[in-house]
Structure 1
């Protein structure tokens, strides 16, 4: 019965999904080999093949296949949502005679390639590709990660998943075990160092998207020594965050804090000093990938927040949002990513320490280098008195794939200085900006740059204090705290009456949440005295 399945499956697929699959002809084929242009080493890549009608002609046996899907369901295996697939530098595929297109990619540091080719009856076409890299950030000490990948994992899948990560040009894949009020999904077999899989090609590390609710947002914890879940105290996020910190991890909010009322949860958790990072770059929320509303809000209130980024694979992609009940054909690992600076040898502990120190920037295309007086993003500079600082920023892109359009220095949410391509020293591939700034009071300063559509980068700030007096923004303080009080009022209103919707259970925890609201209001009152 088992062999019959493999015979009938492609026939079934061809009948019911004619636009996605055509039966191969075994008398003609292609053989594809892919290497790095400069090193000539074999490389893993993402591949998509279509015929002249836009149909996908089949999946090679060499495709790196892993069962995956939304909500931990087995929706797909070998194909990615857009019908591409991953290979480790080489594959063969039988094809019917005809004209075809092949596209190859390897993340944002490499140039995409496309080629047309024709298959004739009885011929074997040998296609060789050299993937050209326009920048190698690891040579500059920056290593890329996707902080939001949902794939169930056992040790056996480690090499396969790492090949997917490698094929997208990433150094680190962070696999999140996800939870909700009822259960957990996308199980990880271990946490902490026991859950790290590391080779010369990169590493995989576990994390958690837990707790997550409709009323107060989705949270993420990274690099902790264990998974943390309190099913009987589910809406008390602070309890989870405290335990994660005990377990040497860091905590943050997903989706820019913009969806599922994350702004309300952040009001309580950031103001209580429980939050370390914000997932600043992602395509899940309309208007993305870069949404800075919550980021600038809490930086202006004087709270340090490291910038991270993640794809939320297999949900979110660079394209139309289909909703949670429909697949997003653009979902893709690494479509946004964050870079962490590591001095010396790249390995898990060094990366973890620098992530904790906030030495990061996020990107969906362009690269950015930013420093103040030689300090990195995430660092703090304490001036004993008012004085001058020297700011340097550089943006890097590629004229055909990631054409730069603007480089900015941002301070307290406003543009201090910007440059655009001018056909001279500022180009669509390299832009630089220098600014000497007189600092009279504390301030946070970051760099931001833009390129083609949906291509943007943003650094974690460098925090400047004068005589240890903080870096908050007095000009926006009142408005931001009023917004925090509004979020608390909305949560209080929701707690007043039971809700019949199964996904809304905050009212079950009314007493504890009201206590947290009261504590947060005390913090708001103290912050107003600034």
Structure 2
């Protein structure tokens, strides 16, 4: 049966799913979401809110459909996420008479649509056409969210609604010091196998992943922080701290180690001691809804110039803090690759709101995607798309340069977005080296594009990356950031700034003092180990 022919039975299906007798004073809103170009039904995320402020959650109107309701709110403020993800089938909602705002979104590659709908006493039909503005898979880019707290039952529905290619649910999760994740207090996995779950040929779930997020030590409140082990092959039966044995086991099993938030108390110890692989440039405090974590954990050093207000971090300040911490680590020689994680399932944020896109040459393949993520052939986004090469090489490439003279590197590509670009910057060793004029050209799709064509003169070892920001009517900070490109110049090694390495040394000194008498000697020894690594790096500072 064609989609248009199926409309003839849509009303009947709605009555079956919603009940022939809707709730008193309720009217059936019958709807469908289709691709504006192909007319095909689309999986999607939908918000329905009445003028009275109440949220409503539709259901699939097909016996073959699926529905996942998501209701999360942080405290009593406006940081809330109230949506439904629906499979590619018609839907129905029971609504009292009144006026409603209906918003439909699908990941990052379609324009969102908002409609005002008035419901009277008769059933209302609604068709929403979503217009694709970019097709990332056709361009060889595939997305992932590496910090996920959704269930295996929910993920097939949610990933298709968000068009997210790869997810890593952290089904093994422990918050108590020394407790093994296999019996973790937050663990929801049961005999999880290290086998890829395929939703369809380009959407997959890798289910065996672990989060160590330590809030108590020996039964007393003492926050250390969090890291993840992704893509490992057996359930970890070791608690932390210390952490070095977990890193070694992850390496043996082909896992990747991901730093959660950069300013947890132990984060700057984990990087040198564990050899952390991935840094979240968009973390689980970056939301579609209002920014909520204005005060969180360790404060930034003054040299980072992080924006704050009377409440603490601004959204832009929090994001910049992450950038500056990442740049500091890169300048110290730690080549972490960028990633993005939402913690959807815990926080008020859709799955994949912040996501990492990885470039693949030959279509989607999970192992190739993991290799690309590990190599840094990627960019992180909360909105814009960023396609950049340096001398025709992708992000993650390492250039070897003779030390006799400087060389010119060509930074080329485009930044694209559904909003005009506010600014595009080429960052070298953590400083803005070039600002690209944000001359946004409107494309036939209705989105905006800005060319990047800059030359960077390199005389000593460095890394460089490109970042861009949208100019949005609501003033929110939405960005994209490439993985770094590295240039190794013979005889002229990369050197951190003194203020950067001093920050890392002080962080370790403060944490050693804080943890004395609380952590066992072998765990405290890892902080001393990190301190010595940083002190050695400090000898090369400029």
State the partner residue of 1:226: 234
3-state SS, counterpart of residue 210 of structure 1 = strand
Query: Are 1:473 and 2:495 an aligned pair?
Result: yes
User: CA contact under 8 A between 1:393 and 1:447: conserved in structure 2?
Assistant: no
SS of the residue aligned with 1:492? helix
Which runs of no fewer than 5 residues in structure 1 stay unpaired? 1-22, 71-79, 317-329, 498-506
SS in 2 for 1:137: coil
Does 2:278 match 1:248? no
Q: Is the CA contact 1:68–1:152 (under 8 Å) kept in the aligned structure 2?
A: no
Q: After the TM superposition, which residues 446-461 of structure 1 pair with which residues of structure 2 at under 5 Å, given as runs?
A: 446-451=465-470, 452=472, 453-461=476-484
Report the equivalent of 2:189. Answer: 188
* Partners of 2:129 and 2:508 in 1: CA distance: 55
Deviation (angstroms), 1:107: 2.0
Q: Any residues of structure 2 matched to 1:95-494 within 5 Å, and which?
A: 95-121=95-121, 123-153=122-152, 157=153, 160-177=154-171, 178-181=173-176, 182=179, 183-189=184-190, 193-206=194-207, 207-213=209-215, 215-231=223-239, 234-255=240-261, 257-258=262-263, 260-261=264-265, 264-266=266-268, 268-272=269-273, 274-284=275-285, 285-286=293-294, 287-290=317-320, 291-316=322-347, 330-385=348-403, 386=405, 387-398=407-418, 402-422=419-439, 429-451=448-470, 452=472, 453-467=476-490, 470=493, 472-474=494-496, 476=497, 478-494=498-514
CA 1:31–1:201: 2 relative to 1, 3 Å: farther
Higher strand share: 2
For the residue of structure 1 that corresponds to 2:526, the secondary structure is helix
Cα distance in 1 between the residues matched to 2:393 and 2:282 = 23
Which residue matches 2:13?
none
Look up the SS of the partner of 2:502 in the other structure. helix
For the residues of structure 1 that align with 2:27 and 2:346, how far apart are their CA atoms? Answer: 36
Q: CA deviation at 1:273?
A: 6.0
CA distance in 2, matches of 1:113, 1:100: 14
1:92 Cα deviation after fit:
2.2
CA change 1:152–1:397 in 2 (3 A) is closer
| Cα distance in 2 for residues equivalent to 1:174 and 1:450 | 27
Distance 1:394 1:424, change over 3 A: closer
Report if the CA contact (8 A) 1:337-1:363 is conserved: yes
Partner of 1:30, secondary structure, is strand
Tell me how far apart the structure 1 counterparts of residues 358 and 441 of structure 2 sit (CA, whole Å): 31
CA-CA distance at 1:224 after TM superposition:
1.9
Q: 1:529 to 1:41 in 2, by over 3 A?
A: same
1:44 Cα deviation from its structure 2 partner:
0.7
TM-score, normalised to structure 1, is: 0.79
CA distance in 1, matches of 2:39, 2:191: 36
Q: Hey, what's the Cα distance between the residues in 1 that align with 2:364 and 2:82?
A: 33
Distance in 2 of aligned mates of 1:305 and 1:187 = 29
Distance 1:201 1:142, change over 3 A: closer
- Partner SS state of residue 170, structure 2: strand
